[in-house]
Amino acid sequence: MRWTSGPQSDDLEDRRGEGGGGGSSFGGMRGLGAGGVIILVILSVVFKRDFFSLVGATGDAPVATGSGPVQSSAAEDSLVKFVNFVLTDVQSFWEKTLPASGVQYRHAKLDLFRDAIESACGNAQAATGPFYCPSDEKVYVDLGFFQELKDRFGAPGDFAQAYVLAHEFGHHVQKLLGTEAKVREAQQSQPGAANALSVRMELQADCYAGVWGKGTAGENVLEPGDVDEGLRAAASVGDDRLQKMATGRVSPESFTHGTSAQRMDWFKRGFESGRIGACDTFAAAK
C-alpha cells in the first residue's frame, strides 16, 4: 500500500501502557505445550472467546489495570502509524459514503492494547484477535496479532492487516445501519439459527471491507498484489481452515464466520462493486 504517516487521530486510544495483569497471557500454559497453546489461540480467534480461561490454566483472564509509559520498538512505532493511517482512511471513507444509505457516520474509537483489556463487552485477551464492541463502539487491537496473521495464518502484507481493521469497522457500519441490533434480536428469538446469522454478519463485514478497498483503489493507495493480500487474509481466517488447523476436522454446524471460500467471495463482491447494496448477505443464497 502507498501510505503516509499523518497526525495521530483523536479516535486512536493507545492503551498499551496499561498493566496487563502480570505479563503474557500464556504465562500459565507451560503444561499444555506449544501445540496446545497454538490450538487455543486458533480456537479463540475462530469463536471470539477466551479459551485460555476455559482450561483453567491461568485463572481469571488478566485485565488492564493501571497505566504507565508505552514501551515500543521502532517496528511497532511504524505499525502504529500504519494503523492510524488505515483508521483515518476507513472512517473518512464511511463518513463520505454512508449518508447515501440514509445514515450519518459516527466515528468509532480504536484502542491499542497488550495481552488483555477490559471493554464494555467484557474482558478480552490478545488471543481472541481484533474485535469490535458495539456497546462502546470501539475496535480493540493487540498489535501482536498482525505477526500471528503472517506467521501462523500465512497472510503477510500491509493490505492483509488493513483488511482486518476494515472488517472490524464494517461491524461498526452494521451497528449504525441497525443491522447489528436486528441480528442480535433474531439470534435471541431463534437460538438454533444463531450461528448461521453470525456467519452472515461476518461475511457482510468482509464485503464492507471490500467496499472500502475499492475506495482506496480510487485514491491510488493500492499497489499490485494488495488485493491478493486481502484475499489471502480473508481465506486464512475461514472457519473451515481454522478448525482444520486446530482439531484436524471441520464442523460446519459450528461455523460463526464463514468458510475461506465464502470470506474471499464476499470481500471480492464488495471490492468489485464498491457498493453497500452488493453486501446483502442475508438475502443471498449462501
The answer to whether position 188 is within a domain reads yes
Give CA 165 to chain center in angstroms. 6
Local structure of residue 220 (DSSP, 8 states):
T
d(CA 85, CA 9): 9
C-alpha cell at position 15: 492503551
Identify the CA nearest to 154 among candidates 260, 71, 70.
Answer: 260
Q: Which of 137, 265, 284 is nearest to 210 (CA)?
A: 265
Distance CA 159, CA 228 (A): 9
CB 139 within 8 A of CB 168: yes
- Asked if residue 264 belongs to a domain, the reply is yes
Which pLDDT value is given to residue 25?
A: 32
- Tell me the C-alpha distance between 132 and 203, whole Å: 15
Residue at 145 is within a domain: yes
pLDDT at 37: 41
Query: Does 4 map to a domain?
Result: no
Give the integer Cα–Cα distance in Å for 49 and 128: 6
Q: Is residue 5 situated within a structural domain?
A: no
Within a domain: 2? no
pLDDT of residue 46: 53
User: Is residue 136 in a domain?
Assistant: yes
C-beta separation of 129 from 100 below 8 A: no
Range of the domain at 254: 12-279
Any idea what DSSP says for residue 31?
Answer: G
Q: What is the pLDDT of residue 123?
A: 86
In total, how many domains does the chain have? 1
Tens digit of each residue's pLDDT, the chain (286 residues): 999 989 999 999 999 988 543 333 333 333 333 344 445 455 555 555 544 444 333 334 444 444 556 778 888 999 999 999 999 999 999 999 999 999 999 999 999 999 989 999 988 888 778 999 999 999 999 999 999 999 989 999 999 999 999 999 999 999 999 999 999 999 999 999 999 999 999 999 999 999 999 999 888 899 999 999 999 999 999 999 999 988 899 999 999 999 999 999 999 999 999 999 999 999 987 5
Question: Does 117 reside within a domain?
Answer: yes
CA distance 151 to 38: 12
